Structure 1
Amino acid sequence: MRIATRSVLSRAAASCMVLAAALALVGLQATGETASAATQKAAPVVTCTTANTKLTVAKVSRPVNHLLLKATNTGTKPCYAYIAPYLRAGADAQAPVAWNEDSTPQAVVTLKHGQSAYAAITTSTPEGEGGAKEKTLGVFFAGRKGDAAGKEKTLKLSKGGIFFNSAATVTYWQDNAGDALSW
């Protein structure tokens, strides 16, 4: 009698396991179909460049010796603002402004149409060397691999120019001005 009881229990357990496996398979198939349908509906995301964004630069009162660079997506597709902008302070700049590596965000900033990303520019510090007043700021976006993407956009700086020295840095793109200016 014990053998018969075990046999019935074994069959019942096996039936339950087959049923559970079948339900799990159906669930995985449904999840896969839902995910692929969502992927097909999502708009492709492109790299932000000067062709699909509007760039502005403004002097801020605090912190001192800072500018705020704003990039607003004017394109029809969402775009990624990768890493940080490449900046050329003045027409005769020999090298781009250094990136502030401490300002790396947790994720790439994604801009939907009309949304903005921000980067703070420290123009000079007392520790910096040399320097000059510059009247223009050249801006390139970075691509996914860190290379320059698209064409340069030249922005005019405030009348009389802005003083830049060797300590100038720019933050990584941030999704709000407050975070950008906190560096």
Structure 2
Amino acid sequence: MRMRHIRLLAATGTAVTALALTACGTAGGTRDEGASRPTTPAASAEKAASGKAAAETSQAATGGRTGNGRPVARTHAPDARPSASPTARGTRTGTAGGSVVLCNGANTTVTAQPLARPLNHLLITVKNTGGKTCELPYYPVLRFDQMQWVPQADRDTQPQAVVSLAPGESGYAGVLLSSADGSGTGGMTARKLTVGFQGLTPNSSGGPSATPSLPAKGVYYDSSLKVTYWQQDLDAIAGW
């Protein structure tokens, strides 16, 4: 009877120990790897954000439409404005909104006429033979024969506005060939004249030059040689 009681106590102790170990394993955080994770508010928000990003990616790939073909409402996009084109250097906008056309040897006819009065003067006339209004900036750049220097302009003749010639109109410039009192030096007779045109900036090229005819006997010039600015009216240089 005593031995039977001892065995019962031993069996009972073994069962109690097993139950205690099971309880400790559960309380210590041991879990089955296959068990599902509990859902928390943070996890739910993360899952919703991931779903929204995937949906937006899908909408972008399908042209912004849902599976049933309805357009998707879009958020506002940055305002796309075209950038202003820079103005080209050395050009100017005319009254009609187009670029200025320069008068030169390609769209004008140029003549050079010796004058009886005043003495020792030459009149250069430029006529616009093109189909557009053209402009004559500054003054003509003259070259007699193979001369190596450029006659200077009389600044007192500079007009208030650039000379503008409509088709068929003419502009003018006067040339003092030699001094009337003989004070000039290095005089010679020239038989060829080249008239150069300036661009919208001083001393820049305005296009092809012109070679107006001179009298058969040529023209005499010396170091007094100078020229006026281009003029809209002949009267502006009549007494120069």
Tell me the C-alpha RMSD between the 2 structures.
1.7
TM superposition shift of 1:89? 1.4
The 5-angstrom pairing of residues 144-163 of structure 1 reads 144-146=200-202, 147-163=204-220
Q: Which runs of 5+ in 2 are unaligned?
A: 1-93
| Percent identity over paired residues | 36
Contact 2:113/2:122, CA 8 A, preserved across alignment: yes
1:49 aligns with 2:108: no
SS state at 1:83 partner: coil
Q: Is the 8 A contact 1:56 1:71 kept in 2?
A: yes
Letter in 2 for 1:65: N
How big is each residue's C-alpha offset from its partner over 1:67-115, in whole Å with a ceiling of 9 and x where there is no partner? Answer: 100001111111111000100012x110122111111011101000000
TM-superposed CA distance for 1:148, in Å, is 2.5
Q: Which residue of 1 aligns with 2:198?
A: 142
CA distance in 2: counterparts of 1:40 and 1:168, whole angstroms: 37
TM-superposed deviation, 1:60: 1.1
Cα offset, 1:122, TM superposition: 0.4
Larger RCO (alpha carbons 8 Å, 6+ apart): 1
**Cα offset for 1:44?**
4.7
Q: Which residue of 1 aligns with 2:232?
A: 175
Say if 1:89 and 1:97, in contact at 8 Å, map to a contact too: no
Structure having the higher strand fraction is: 1
Separation in structure 1 between the aligned mates of residue 205 and residue 149 of structure 2, nearest angstrom: 13
Map of 2:43 onto structure 1: none
Deviation at residue 123 of structure 1 after TM alignment: 0.3
Quickly say closer, same or farther: Cα 1:103–1:41, change in 2 above 3 A.
Answer: closer
Kindly indicate whether the alpha-carbon contact (under 8 Å) linking 1:44 and 1:78 is maintained by their aligned counterparts in 2. Answer: no
Q: Aligned pair count?
A: 144
Query: What is aligned with 2:171?
Result: 117
One-letter amino acid of the counterpart of residue 174, structure 2: A
- The answer for unaligned runs of 5 or more in structure 1 is 1-38
Residue 126 of structure 2 aligns to a residue whose secondary structure is: strand
Q: 2:134 aligns with which of 63, 79, 85?
A: 79
Q: Which residue of structure 2 aligns with residue 34 of structure 1?
A: none
Larger Rg over CA atoms: 2
Q: 1:128 offset after TM fit, Å? A: 1.3
TM superposition score normalised by structure 2: 0.57
Q: Distance in 2 between matches of 1:56 and 1:109?
A: 17
Check the 8 A contact 2:135/2:165 in 1, yes or no: yes
Q: Residue type matched to 2:217 in 1?
A: G
Q: What is the CA distance between 1:130 and its match in structure 2?
A: 1.1
Tell me the amino acid that sits aligned with residue 189 of structure 2.
K
Give CA deviations for 1:93-146 in whole Å, capped at 9, x if unaligned: 101221111110111010000000000000000221111010111011111102
